[in-house]
Protein backbone atom coordinates (compact mmCIF):
# COMPACT_ATOMS: atom_id res chain seq x y z
CA UNK A 1 0.00 0.00 0.00
CA UNK A 2 1.33 3.44 -0.93
CA UNK A 3 2.26 5.77 1.89
CA UNK A 4 0.13 8.90 2.18
CA UNK A 5 2.63 11.30 0.66
CA UNK A 6 3.29 9.21 -2.47
CA UNK A 7 -0.39 8.39 -2.85
CA UNK A 8 -1.26 12.08 -2.74
CA UNK A 9 1.46 12.81 -5.28
CA UNK A 10 -0.01 10.18 -7.60
CA UNK A 11 -3.55 11.54 -7.19
CA UNK A 12 -2.33 15.04 -7.93
CA UNK A 13 -0.40 13.85 -11.00
CA UNK A 14 -3.52 12.06 -12.28
CA UNK A 15 -5.60 15.24 -12.04
CA UNK A 16 -2.83 17.18 -13.77
CA UNK A 17 -2.92 14.62 -16.57
CA UNK A 18 -6.68 14.97 -16.87
CA UNK A 19 -6.54 18.77 -17.00
CA UNK A 20 -3.69 18.81 -19.53
CA UNK A 21 -4.49 15.90 -21.82
CA UNK A 22 -8.23 15.32 -21.39
CA UNK A 23 -9.88 12.11 -20.33
CA UNK A 24 -9.17 9.92 -23.33
CA UNK A 25 -5.50 10.88 -23.59
CA UNK A 26 -4.79 11.06 -19.85
CA UNK A 27 -1.95 8.62 -19.24
CA UNK A 28 -1.69 6.52 -16.10
CA UNK A 29 1.92 5.77 -17.02
CA UNK A 30 2.84 9.46 -17.15
CA UNK A 31 1.14 10.05 -13.81
CA UNK A 32 3.03 7.11 -12.32
CA UNK A 33 6.30 8.48 -13.64
CA UNK A 34 5.58 11.96 -12.30
CA UNK A 35 4.78 10.54 -8.86
CA UNK A 36 7.60 7.98 -8.83
CA UNK A 37 5.15 5.10 -8.50
CA UNK A 38 5.66 1.75 -10.23
CA UNK A 39 3.03 -0.08 -12.26
CA UNK A 40 2.84 -2.79 -9.61
CA UNK A 41 2.28 -0.25 -6.86
CA UNK A 42 -0.42 1.42 -8.94
CA UNK A 43 -2.15 -1.90 -9.59
CA UNK A 44 -2.09 -2.70 -5.87
CA UNK A 45 -3.87 0.56 -5.16
CA UNK A 46 -6.30 1.04 -8.06
CA UNK A 47 -8.18 -1.08 -10.62
CA UNK A 48 -7.46 1.43 -13.36
CA UNK A 49 -7.59 5.01 -14.58
CA UNK A 50 -11.19 5.67 -13.57
CA UNK A 51 -10.79 4.46 -10.01
CA UNK A 52 -7.66 6.57 -9.59
CA UNK A 53 -9.37 9.64 -11.06
CA UNK A 54 -12.40 9.30 -8.79
CA UNK A 55 -10.14 8.85 -5.75
CA UNK A 56 -8.14 11.91 -6.81
CA UNK A 57 -11.27 13.99 -7.20
CA UNK A 58 -12.68 12.90 -3.85
CA UNK A 59 -9.38 13.74 -2.17
CA UNK A 60 -9.23 17.16 -3.81
CA UNK A 61 -12.83 18.06 -2.96
CA UNK A 62 -12.38 16.94 0.65
CA UNK A 63 -9.43 19.33 0.92
CA UNK A 64 -11.29 22.22 -0.71
CA UNK A 65 -14.35 21.81 1.51
CA UNK A 66 -12.25 21.39 4.67
CA UNK A 67 -10.34 24.60 3.95
CA UNK A 68 -13.57 26.46 3.22
CA UNK A 69 -14.97 25.18 6.50
CA UNK A 70 -12.02 26.59 8.42
CA UNK A 71 -12.23 29.93 6.61
CA UNK A 72 -15.98 30.21 7.21
CA UNK A 73 -15.77 29.48 10.93
CA UNK A 74 -15.13 32.21 13.46
CA UNK A 75 -16.93 34.89 15.41
CA UNK A 76 -17.32 37.51 12.69
CA UNK A 77 -20.74 38.28 11.21
CA UNK A 78 -21.86 35.77 8.57
CA UNK A 79 -21.23 38.00 5.50
CA UNK A 80 -17.63 38.53 6.63
CA UNK A 81 -17.08 34.83 7.14
CA UNK A 82 -18.49 34.08 3.70
CA UNK A 83 -16.18 36.71 2.23
CA UNK A 84 -13.21 35.20 4.04
CA UNK A 85 -14.06 31.66 2.89
CA UNK A 86 -14.62 32.82 -0.68
CA UNK A 87 -11.37 34.77 -0.69
CA UNK A 88 -9.45 31.66 0.39
CA UNK A 89 -11.15 29.50 -2.23
CA UNK A 90 -10.52 31.94 -5.08
CA UNK A 91 -6.86 32.33 -4.14
CA UNK A 92 -6.48 28.57 -3.95
CA UNK A 93 -8.00 28.10 -7.40
CA UNK A 94 -5.93 30.93 -8.90
CA UNK A 95 -2.72 29.41 -7.52
CA UNK A 96 -3.50 26.01 -9.07
CA UNK A 97 -5.17 26.60 -12.46
CA UNK A 98 -4.82 22.96 -13.51
CA UNK A 99 -6.49 21.70 -10.36
CA UNK A 100 -9.19 24.36 -10.78
CA UNK A 101 -9.83 23.06 -14.29
CA UNK A 102 -9.90 19.44 -13.12
CA UNK A 103 -12.26 20.39 -10.31
CA UNK A 104 -14.85 22.26 -12.37
CA UNK A 105 -14.43 21.36 -16.02
CA UNK A 106 -12.38 18.25 -16.81
CA UNK A 107 -13.46 15.70 -14.23
CA UNK A 108 -17.22 16.42 -14.18
CA UNK A 109 -17.29 15.97 -17.95
CA UNK A 110 -15.78 12.51 -18.16
CA UNK A 111 -19.00 10.58 -17.50
CA UNK A 112 -22.38 10.94 -15.74
CA UNK A 113 -21.12 9.40 -12.48
CA UNK A 114 -18.36 12.01 -12.38
CA UNK A 115 -20.86 14.80 -12.93
CA UNK A 116 -22.86 13.52 -9.97
CA UNK A 117 -19.72 13.97 -7.84
CA UNK A 118 -19.66 17.61 -8.96
CA UNK A 119 -23.31 18.06 -7.98
CA UNK A 120 -22.46 16.55 -4.58
CA UNK A 121 -19.56 18.97 -4.23
CA UNK A 122 -21.83 21.98 -4.69
CA UNK A 123 -24.19 20.53 -2.09
CA UNK A 124 -21.36 20.38 0.44
CA UNK A 125 -21.13 24.19 0.43
CA UNK A 126 -24.82 24.55 1.33
CA UNK A 127 -24.34 24.35 5.15
CA UNK A 128 -22.04 27.40 5.06
CA UNK A 129 -24.94 29.42 3.63
CA UNK A 130 -27.71 28.61 6.08
CA UNK A 131 -27.05 31.47 8.48
CA UNK A 132 -27.71 33.87 5.63
CA UNK A 133 -31.46 33.43 6.16
CA UNK A 134 -31.14 35.56 9.28
CA UNK A 135 -30.06 38.51 7.11
CA UNK A 136 -33.17 38.64 4.94
CA UNK A 137 -34.82 42.04 4.67
CA UNK A 138 -38.31 40.59 4.21
CA UNK A 139 -40.51 38.80 6.72
CA UNK A 140 -41.57 36.29 4.12
CA UNK A 141 -39.91 32.88 4.03
CA UNK A 142 -37.08 32.62 1.51
CA UNK A 143 -37.09 29.73 -1.00
CA UNK A 144 -36.50 26.29 0.47
CA UNK A 145 -33.22 25.92 -1.39
CA UNK A 146 -31.96 29.48 -1.37
CA UNK A 147 -28.62 28.17 -0.09
CA UNK A 148 -28.05 26.13 -3.25
CA UNK A 149 -29.14 29.08 -5.38
CA UNK A 150 -26.32 31.09 -3.77
CA UNK A 151 -23.75 28.33 -4.28
CA UNK A 152 -24.84 27.89 -7.90
CA UNK A 153 -24.50 31.61 -8.55
CA UNK A 154 -20.87 31.59 -7.42
CA UNK A 155 -20.14 28.39 -9.32
CA UNK A 156 -21.48 29.83 -12.58
CA UNK A 157 -19.11 32.80 -12.44
CA UNK A 158 -16.11 30.73 -11.36
CA UNK A 159 -16.80 28.15 -14.08
CA UNK A 160 -16.83 30.75 -16.85
CA UNK A 161 -13.45 32.13 -15.78
CA UNK A 162 -11.82 28.72 -15.41
CA UNK A 163 -13.28 27.56 -18.72
CA UNK A 164 -11.91 30.65 -20.47
CA UNK A 165 -8.44 30.10 -19.01
CA UNK A 166 -8.68 33.18 -16.78
CA UNK A 167 -8.39 31.36 -13.45
CA UNK A 168 -5.69 33.76 -12.23
CA UNK A 169 -8.25 36.59 -12.33
CA UNK A 170 -10.55 34.97 -9.78
CA UNK A 171 -9.21 36.76 -6.66
CA UNK A 172 -9.93 40.13 -8.32
CA UNK A 173 -13.50 38.97 -8.89
CA UNK A 174 -14.16 38.43 -5.20
CA UNK A 175 -16.54 41.44 -4.92
CA UNK A 176 -18.80 40.39 -7.81
CA UNK A 177 -18.92 36.75 -6.77
CA UNK A 178 -19.63 37.77 -3.17
CA UNK A 179 -22.53 39.90 -4.43
CA UNK A 180 -24.08 36.92 -6.20
CA UNK A 181 -23.81 34.75 -3.08
CA UNK A 182 -25.28 37.36 -0.74
CA UNK A 183 -28.03 38.83 -2.91
CA UNK A 184 -30.64 36.07 -2.43
CA UNK A 185 -30.29 36.45 1.35
CA UNK A 186 -29.80 40.21 1.74
CA UNK A 187 -31.26 41.82 -1.39
CA UNK A 188 -29.33 43.82 -4.00
CA UNK A 189 -28.71 47.03 -2.04
CA UNK A 190 -27.09 45.40 0.98
CA UNK A 191 -25.26 42.86 -1.17
CA UNK A 192 -23.88 45.80 -3.17
CA UNK A 193 -22.67 47.41 0.08
CA UNK A 194 -20.75 44.22 0.89
CA UNK A 195 -19.45 44.13 -2.69
CA UNK A 196 -18.10 47.67 -2.39
CA UNK A 197 -16.53 46.88 0.96
CA UNK A 198 -14.81 43.82 -0.52
CA UNK A 199 -13.62 45.86 -3.52
CA UNK A 200 -12.09 48.47 -1.23
CA UNK A 201 -10.09 45.78 0.55
CA UNK A 202 -8.47 44.43 -2.63
**Count of positions on this chain that bind another protein (CB under 8 A):** 52
- DSSP character at residue 173: G
Q: What are phi and psi of 33, to 5 degrees?
A: -65, -45
**Which residues inside 124-143 make contact with another protein, applying CB under 8 A?**
126, 130, 136-143
- Determine which residue in the list 80, 157, 166, 197 makes contact with another protein, applying CB under 8 A: 157
Radius of gyration of the chain (CA): 19
**Which residues inside 57-96 make contact with another protein, applying CB under 8 A?**
none
Best CA proximity match to 98, nearest among 17, 29, 156: 17
Measured from the CB atom, the residue of 37 and 183 that comes closer to another protein is 183
Asked if 148 is part of the footprint of another protein (rule: CB under 8 A), the reply reads: yes
Best CA proximity match to 119, nearest among 50, 61, 55: 61
Asked if 146 is part of the footprint of another protein (rule: CB under 8 A), the reply reads: yes
- Give 72's Cβ-side CA count (13 Å radius): 20
By CB under 8 A, name the binding residues for another protein: 24, 105, 108-109, 111-112, 115-116, 119, 122-123, 126, 130, 136-157, 159-160, 173, 175-177, 179-180, 183-184, 187-189, 191-192, 195-196
Amino acid sequence: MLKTERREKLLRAMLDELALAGYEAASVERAQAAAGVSGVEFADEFDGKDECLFAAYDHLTDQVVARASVSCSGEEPWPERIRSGLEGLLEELAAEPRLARALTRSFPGIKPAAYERYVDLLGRFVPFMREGREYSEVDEELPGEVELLAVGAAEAIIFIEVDAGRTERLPQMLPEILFSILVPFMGPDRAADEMRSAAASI
